[in-house]
């Protein structure tokens, strides 16, 4: 038995059943439409996933590009480090050379002072102390690669020697006297040698020339 509250629901169901019986194609079209909509959504999602995933060739190309950039960056950094190390080494060498150049005149002063010591004071303890200091300075220069410029008796070299005097009428090709030592720091010139140029040095015989016999006889007759 149907109550008064259930009566409208019952009537609506009966109307829907009669409509389905009258138009069965419309009733079956609605489920088909839902199926087609679900299939379209699935196909759309599959296409979007395919577009979002790059192919293998693109990934390999990007990898190779990144590796090439990394190699270039490493090479540039290695060149930069090498250049910086070279600049630092050159700066240290130049600063050391300036200091050595400033020490060379002090060596000159010690040598002049020791050369001027009287003979009777050469063994004095004070003089020996000065000589020891001079030797230590010489040893320091040798450790740093400083060597004297060879000059006396050598052909004149404008790259190593500075001519401050010449012998008149000479060829000026040979160093005949050294006024001030020159020094080299490795292959670089610290200071040129101040020299006098002339002809080749003459060997000293060590004996005095005797006057001619005629002159001796003349001198005896005069007496």
pLDDT in tens, 89-116: 888 888 888 888 889 999 999 988 998 8
Q: What residues contact residue 164 under an 8 Å CB cut-off, 6+ apart? A: 179, 194, 195, 196
- CB under 8 Å, gap of 24 or more: what pairs does 148-154 form? 148/181, 148/182, 148/183, 148/184, 149/181, 149/182, 149/183, 149/184, 149/189, 149/192, 149/193, 151/175, 151/178, 151/181, 151/182, 151/193, 151/195, 152/176, 152/177, 152/178, 152/195, 152/201, 153/200, 153/201
Check residues 163 and 208 and name the one with the higher pLDDT: 163
For the question of whether the overall pTM of this predicted structure is more than 0.75, the answer is no
- Average pLDDT value for residue range 197-221: 51
Q: Is residue 107 part of a domain?
A: yes
Length of the chain: 223
User: Do 136 and 155 reside in the same domain of the chain?
Assistant: no
User: Do 169 and 130 reside in the same domain of the chain?
Assistant: no
Q: Is residue 17 part of a domain?
A: no
User: Do 67 and 129 reside in the same domain of the chain?
Assistant: yes
pLDDT of residue 38: 59
Task: Give percent above pLDDT 70 in the chain.
Answer: 65
Q: Is residue 106 part of a domain?
A: yes
Domain that holds residue 199: 146-203
Q: Over 90: is that where the pLDDT of 202 sits?
A: no
User: Do 80 and 119 reside in the same domain of the chain?
Assistant: yes
User: Do 83 and 138 reside in the same domain of the chain?
Assistant: yes
Q: Identify the CATH number of the domain in which residue 170 sits.
A: 2.30.22.10
DSSP classification of residue 3: -
pLDDT of residue 213: 47
Span 155-198, pLDDT tens digits = 998 889 988 888 887 777 889 989 999 999 988 899 999 999 98
pLDDT of residue 75: 93
């Amino acid at each position: 038995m149907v109550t008064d509250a259930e009566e409208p629901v019952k009537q609506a169901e009966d109307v829907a059943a009669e409509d389905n019986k009258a138009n069965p194609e419309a009733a079956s079209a609605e489920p088909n439409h839902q199926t087609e909509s679900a299939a379209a959504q699935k196909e759309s999602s599959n296409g979007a996933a395919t577009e979002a995933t790059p192919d293998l060739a693109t990934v390999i190309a990007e990898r190779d590009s990144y590796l090439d950039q990394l190699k270039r960056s490493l090479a540039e950094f290695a060149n930069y480090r090498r250049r910086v190390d070279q600049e630092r080494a050159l700066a240290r060498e130049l600063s050391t050379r300036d200091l050595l150049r400033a020490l060379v005149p002090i060596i000159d002063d010690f040598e002049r002072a020791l050369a001027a010591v009287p003979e009777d004071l050469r063994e004095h303890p004070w003089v020996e102390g000065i000589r020891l200091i001079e030797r230590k300075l010489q040893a320091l220069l040798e450790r740093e690669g400083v060597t004297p410029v060879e000059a006396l008796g050598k052909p004149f070299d404008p790259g190593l020697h500075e001519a401050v005097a010449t012998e008149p009428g000479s060829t000026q090709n040979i160093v005949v006297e050294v006024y001030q030592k020159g020094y080299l720091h490795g292959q670089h010139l610290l200071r040129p040698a101040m020299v006098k140029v002339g002809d080749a040095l003459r060997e000293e015989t060590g004996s005095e020339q005797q006057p001619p016999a005629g002159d001796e006889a003349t001198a005896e007759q005069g007496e």
